[in-house]
Structure 1
Amino acid sequence: MADHSTYPVGLRHSPDKHQRLRQALSNPSILMAPGCFDCITAKLVANAGFSAGYITGSGVSMSALGAPDMGVISFAEVLERAMRIADSVDIPLICDADTGYGGPINLIRTVRDLERAGVSGIQIEDQAWPKKCGHEPGRKIVDTDEMVGRIKAAVDARHDDDLVIIARTDARTTEGIERAIERAQRYHEAGADVLFVESPESEAEMRLINQSLTAPTLANMVEGGRTPVLPATELEGIGYALAIYPNSLTRMIAHQGAAMLQVLKQSGATAGFADRMVNHRGLWDLFDYPTWTELENRFSKT
């Protein structure tokens, strides 16, 4: 059997990604998972030394369709992007799977296809379709029993028991924090590994979530959103096991990209922005260019 250990990440499969994610969630220190929406942003997350990444549904919708996070994107489009991202980096990835994209049978397919694509954690929420960003108004949620069915279907569908199922509830905004916590507890009883109470509106509510729930919890850090954005050490002290930063990179790229384009438009050159850009070689090396070249040479005619 050929030894593929020296292949670029895009040409090898790491079968222990699920196990690594589950182990990281059991550690006493909080797991930070920055958002990514394509292979470039995933590479940046991995190369920065983070132990996991978060495939952001809103970021994928914006980058793939030019559309906001309003349920416009299809499962096929999310799956294609998730597969490419998972094949490009060697860190575990959590994928935002919205509502599961249909009824129980659709959700079973969603879990199985994402697991085959190389995703190690799948997030499912209790919104009604079409879903919306968890920090925007107008969200509608399904009844608790329907979401319990979604979680049970997801748990039953996974092939590897180490695949992490994350249950998100958006009940805080419409039903209050106590009701949201009650829902999260029901989802844990249904088999969810991690609980995600979306958009708590104060540090006191964040503390209440962690005092009330025994399962690992997720904090969603959205700059300018409904929830206080706290340092990871403070989130860890509150009791969170996982923190995601869905669109931090997206916002930075939008801001810096706009600034660079203004420099180019006004001066006719990018020199004024050069110190804030990687050079040609740096960009190519981000994608393991020397390794790809060595592999090409190994099998090319001489």
Structure 2
Amino acid sequence: MADPIFRQKLESGKFFVVPGIQDMITAVIANKVGFDLVYGTGYWLTASAWGLPDAGIATYTEMLNRMETLARVSTGALIADADTGYGGLLNVHHTVKGYEKAGVTAIQFEDQEFPKKCGHTPFKRLIPLEDMVEKIKVAVDAREDKENFLIIARTDARQSEGMDGTLRRLEAYDKAGADVIFPEALTSEEEMEIACKNFDKPVMANMSNGGHTPVPHASVLEEIGYAYAIYPSLTSLVACTAMEKALTDLKEKGIGEPDELFSFKEFSERIGFDKVWEFEKKWAKD
């Protein structure tokens, strides 16, 4: 059964934020901070695991492994990026089954051609609206937990079809049974307001740092009318900045132990070494 927390938070009508998780170290830190929900980001999980771009190169099997691992490590329920469903209708069916079995709470599909592109990069191509509607219907039908395993439908139409095309597609995806609708890569707060006011279904915001969409304070997103916002690139880009500085200081200044390092002892305990040590004490032979 999927974790009901996502459905419950949406039904409460209170805006919330969801951090993107790119690797299991980030998941451990997110556990410490405390989040009810986390987002398994396709772009950053692909980058961290294989050093590849989010361009449909990672396979269903590879991404399923990443999501299953993240669902195990994270104490927050997992919203998972599933790209296009990795192919046609049968692939979508298979992806829903696999992700739900892996412990995912919600799955997100987009209306790009396969292989897809990151929503904030050029050369995206969309499938026909009718084809995406069929994918959503298949996804809705494939899930076992009809109440708590939620389907998120994303459109990348803004850059090729404008706001009219974006709204037309979202309306169709709403009617097809999507639980949450997701207009990707909007370019202004005005467009964000238009998207939110046109639907009764929850609308999600993608706060992708450096992308097409502005990243206002969370309180502004709440006023605009979003149900929640994901922050897929935040932890990755912050980590890149910190790593670049530390490595530059090491190379140029010989600094191997900078100030403000996270405690090695605490991290070891949070990753599970405390249980290993307990096991050793119980079973070690002198």
Matched, 1:287 2:271: yes
Matched, 1:51 2:63: no
Distance 1:44 1:106 in 2: 33
1:69-109 Cα offsets, whole Å, 9 max, x none, are 11111111100111111111221011110000011111111
Distance 1:168 1:297 in 2: 51
Distance 2:281 2:131 in 1: 55
Distance 2:157 2:53 in 1: 21
Point out the more displaced range, 195-204 or 259-268. Answer: 259-268
Q: Which residue of 1 aligns with 2:227?
A: 241
Matched, 1:142 2:127: yes
1:293/1:177 CA distance change after superposition, 3 Å: same
Matched, 1:255 2:204: no
User: Which of 81, 96, 103 lines up with 1:118 in the alignment?
Assistant: 103
Q: Aligned with 1:176: secondary structure?
A: helix
Q: State the TM-score, normalizing by the size of structure 2.
A: 0.95
Q: Which residue of 2 aligns with 1:6?
A: none
Q: Which residue of 2 aligns with 1:87?
A: 72
- Structure 2 regions of 5+ residues with no counterpart? none
Distance 1:301 1:270 in 2: 37
Check conservation: 2:20, 2:231, Cα contact below 8 A.
yes
User: Which of 66, 80, 92 lines up with 1:107 in the alignment?
Assistant: 92
Q: Aligned with 2:3: secondary structure?
A: helix
Q: 1:233: how far off?
A: 1.2
- Structure 1 regions of 5+ residues with no counterpart? 1-14
Q: Which residue of 1 aligns with 2:151?
A: 165
1:135-155 Cα offsets, whole Å, 9 max, x none, are 111100001110001101111
1:208-229 Cα offsets, whole Å, 9 max, x none, are 0011111001100011211110
1:113-161 Cα offsets, whole Å, 9 max, x none, are 1111111010000000111111111100001110001101111111111
1:183-219 Cα offsets, whole Å, 9 max, x none, are 1111111110000000111111000001111100110
Q: Which residue of 1 aligns with 2:168?
A: 182
Q: 1:168: how far off?
A: 0.1
> What amino acid sits opposite 1:51 in the alignment?
D
Distance 1:297 1:181 in 2: 61
Point out the more displaced range, 126-135 or 43-52. Answer: 43-52
Check conservation: 2:20, 2:39, Cα contact below 8 A.
yes
Q: 1:276: how far off?
A: 2.6
1:102/1:210 CA distance change after superposition, 3 Å: same
> What amino acid sits opposite 2:225 in the alignment?
G
In the TM superposition, structure 1's runs of 4+ consecutive aligned residues that sit over 2 Å from their partners are: 288-302
Q: 1:281: how far off?
A: 0.1
Q: Aligned with 1:167: secondary structure?
A: strand
> What amino acid sits opposite 1:201 in the alignment?
T
1:190/1:292 CA distance change after superposition, 3 Å: farther
Check conservation: 1:46, 1:53, Cα contact below 8 A.
no
Q: 1:300: how far off?
A: 6.3
Q: 1:27: how far off?
A: 2.0
Q: 1:181: how far off?
A: 1.1
Check conservation: 2:80, 2:104, Cα contact below 8 A.
yes
Matched, 1:197 2:183: yes
Point out the more displaced range, 24-33 or 205-214. Answer: 24-33
Q: Which residue of 2 aligns with 1:78?
A: 63
Q: 1:283: how far off?
A: 1.6
> What amino acid sits opposite 1:196 in the alignment?
F
RMSD of aligned C-alpha atoms? 1.6
Q: 1:294: how far off?
A: 3.3
Matched, 1:266 2:258: no
Check conservation: 2:36, 2:75, Cα contact below 8 A.
no
> What amino acid sits opposite 2:5 in the alignment?
R
Point out the more displaced range, 66-75 or 138-147. Answer: 66-75
Check conservation: 1:36, 1:249, Cα contact below 8 A.
yes
Distance 1:72 1:195 in 2: 25
Q: Which residue of 1 aligns with 2:23?
A: 38
Q: Aligned with 1:276: secondary structure?
A: coil
Distance 2:88 2:229 in 1: 28
